[in-house]
Amino acid sequence: MSFQRSGRAQIIAVASGKGGVGKTNVSVNLAVALARAGGRVMLIDCDMGLANAAILMGIDATFTIGDLLAGRCTMDDLIRPGPGGISFVPGHSGTGSGSTLTHSERTRLIEALGPWLDDFDHVVIDTGSGIEASALALIAEADMPMIVVTPEPTSFIDAYALVKALAVAQGLQRFQVVANMVRHDIAGRELFDRFRGVVTRFLDLNLDYAGAIPDDPYVREAVLRKRCCLEAFPGSGASKAFGRIARRLARPDIQPVPAPAELRLMGEANGTY
C-alpha cells in the first residue's frame, strides 16, 4: 500500500546506510527550511526505536506513532506543532514497538496519515538507518528518496549498499543525495561526484545532487540546546545550506548546483579563493 492523496503533497524520505551521519538533523532542518520557504510541512519520525527528532526540537511528545498503532491515540492527539510552523508526528523511542514497522503497521500508519496529506505541500519522513526490508519498503513509498552521505568511508560504502538495495528490492531508479558534514560546497560536490561515479559504474540509476551541508559546530551546539539549527542559529553556514536545499526542492526549475570547476571560477571572480 502506498500514500494516496489527491493534492500536491511531496513525500520526501530521508535515509542513510548507517547511523551517525546526521540523517535526523537533515530531516528536521530540511522540514523547517521548507516551511520557511513558504510550504506547509509535516515531519514524520519513522526511525522506530531510536526516534530523536523530538529531542532535536525540544518537543515533549505525549504520544508517539507507537501509541497510534496500538490504538491509544488518534492522529489529532499525535500531531504536535513544531518550529517554523511545521506539524510533527513523533516517533517511538525505546522498547515496545521494535526498531522497524511491520507491513501491517506500515499499512495502518499510511491509512491514518492519508486524510491529512492533502493539507500539506511537503511531508518529510525521517526513516530508520540501514537496509532492513521494512525500512526499504517505507522509503519506496515516497516521491523522493533522499540519501544522506558523509566523507566517512563507512558512510560512503553503506550509502551505496542502501541505494543498491532500494534499486534491486524496490525498483527505485532516482535518488536525491545530500553531502553532509563536508568542509565546504566544493568538497560536497566532489563527494557526490565520487559517489555517483561508483554507483553508476555498477547500477543504471539517476542520482541528483541536492546540495551540501558544512561540518558546522553550530549544528552540535543546537543539538545541545535541544533546538533545530535553523531556529537557534539562522545565520550559520549549515542553516543557510538547508535553506538553499529547501528552495531547490520547492522550485524544480531552479538552476542546478555548479560543478567544482564552476564553483572555483565563481570563487575566484568573487575573491573567495
Q: What is the pLDDT of residues 167-188, one digit of tens each?
A: 999 999 999 999 999 999 999 9
CB 22 within 8 A of CB 53: no
Sign of CA dihedral 201, 203, 208, 212: negative
Q: How far apart are CA 145 and CA 233, in angstroms?
A: 27
Handedness of CA 209, 142, 77, 49 (dihedral sign): negative
H-run or E-run covering 144: strand 144-149
DSSP character at residue 93: B
List per-block mean pLDDT (blocks of 10 residues) for the chain, which spans 273 residues: 61 93 96 95 86 92 91 94 96 58 83 88 91 85 95 95 95 97 96 97 96 97 96 97 94 48 44 39
| Distance of alpha carbon 243 from alpha carbon 196, whole angstroms | 24
Give the integer Cα–Cα distance in Å for 49 and 38. Answer: 32
* Cβ neighbours of residue 9 closer than 8 Å, sequence gap 6 or more: 3, 117, 118, 120, 121, 122, 123
Which 8-state DSSP code applies to residue 4? -
Summarize pLDDT for 241-260 with one digit per residue, the tens: 999 999 998 865 444 444 44
As beta bridge partners, residue 214 has: 182
Grid coordinates belonging to 270: 568573487
From the candidate CATH numbers 3.40.50.920, 3.90.1150.10, 2.40.50.140, 3.40.50.300, the one assigned to the domain spanning 10-270? 3.40.50.300
- 245's CB contacts (< 8 A; 6+ apart) are 30, 33, 178, 210, 211, 213
Residue with cell 542502501: 162
Mean pLDDT of the chain: 87
The domains of the chain are located at 10-270
The string of DSSP letters for 7-18 reads: S-PEEEEEE-SS
Kindly report, residue by residue over 87-120, the tens digit of the pLDDT.
999 987 654 444 567 788 888 888 898 888 889 9
